[in-house]
């Protein structure tokens, strides 16, 4: 019997094989769809509390060019470097199993988005999707990029 290793994703075997077998573009599209699904709990919660202030990075106070550069380019690169690449690699060095590493990475990702509890919850679920896609790509190709 094969011993589990730190990079095993620990999804049900058929699902793991399906994800690993997906071409990169399809995996990205699936990840984007799952990111949409990850935001649904917050959308439902907001429908019951329409006056709730979600919060955010205060982009409305900045010019549009700076907002696009930061929100679409710099922040995603920085967050990926910290919350997926560095965090998951560090946890792997400590021999933390992949599901636990994904959970820790997602908790850190959620905590970094502390604007409100809904924002943290949504960021956590998005972190699960992003870390899982990162691990799948890493297992498929030896590196996620």
pLDDT per residue as tens digits for the range 71-112: 778 888 888 889 888 999 899 899 998 889 999 999 999 999
What percentage of the chain exceeds 90 in pLDDT? 30
Token couple for 106: 């997602």
Average pLDDT, the chain: 82
pTM equals 0.78
pLDDT in tens, 48-67: 887 777 666 565 566 677 77
Rounded to whole angstroms, the Cα distance separating 46 from 70 reads 26
Q: Spell out the alpha helix ranges (H) of 49-97.
A: 64-68, 75-79, 87-93
Model confidence band, residue 2 (pLDDT cutoffs 50, 70, 90): very low
Find all residues with CB under 8 Å of 102, minimum gap 6, and list them. 9, 88, 128, 131, 132, 135
Q: What is the DSSP letter of 63?
A: -
CA distance 34 to 17: 18
């Amino acid at each position: 019997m094969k011993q589990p290793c730190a990079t095993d994703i620990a999804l049900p075997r058929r699902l793991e094989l399906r994800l690993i077998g997906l071409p990169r573009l399809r995996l990205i599209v699936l990840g984007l769809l799952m990111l949409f699904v990850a935001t649904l709990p917050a959308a439902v919660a907001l429908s019951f509390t329409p006056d709730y202030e979600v919060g955010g990075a205060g982009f409305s106070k900045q010019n549009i060019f700076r907002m696009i550069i930061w929100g679409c380019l710099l922040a995603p690169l920085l967050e990926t470097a910290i919350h997926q690449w560095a965090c998951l690699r560090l946890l792997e060095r400590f021999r933390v199993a992949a599901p636990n590493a994904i959970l820790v990475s997602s908790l850190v990702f959620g905590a970094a988005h502390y604007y409100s509890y809904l924002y943290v919850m949504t960021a956590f679920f998005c972190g699960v999707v992003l870390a899982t896609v990162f691990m799948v790509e890493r297992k498929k190709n030896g590196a996620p990029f």
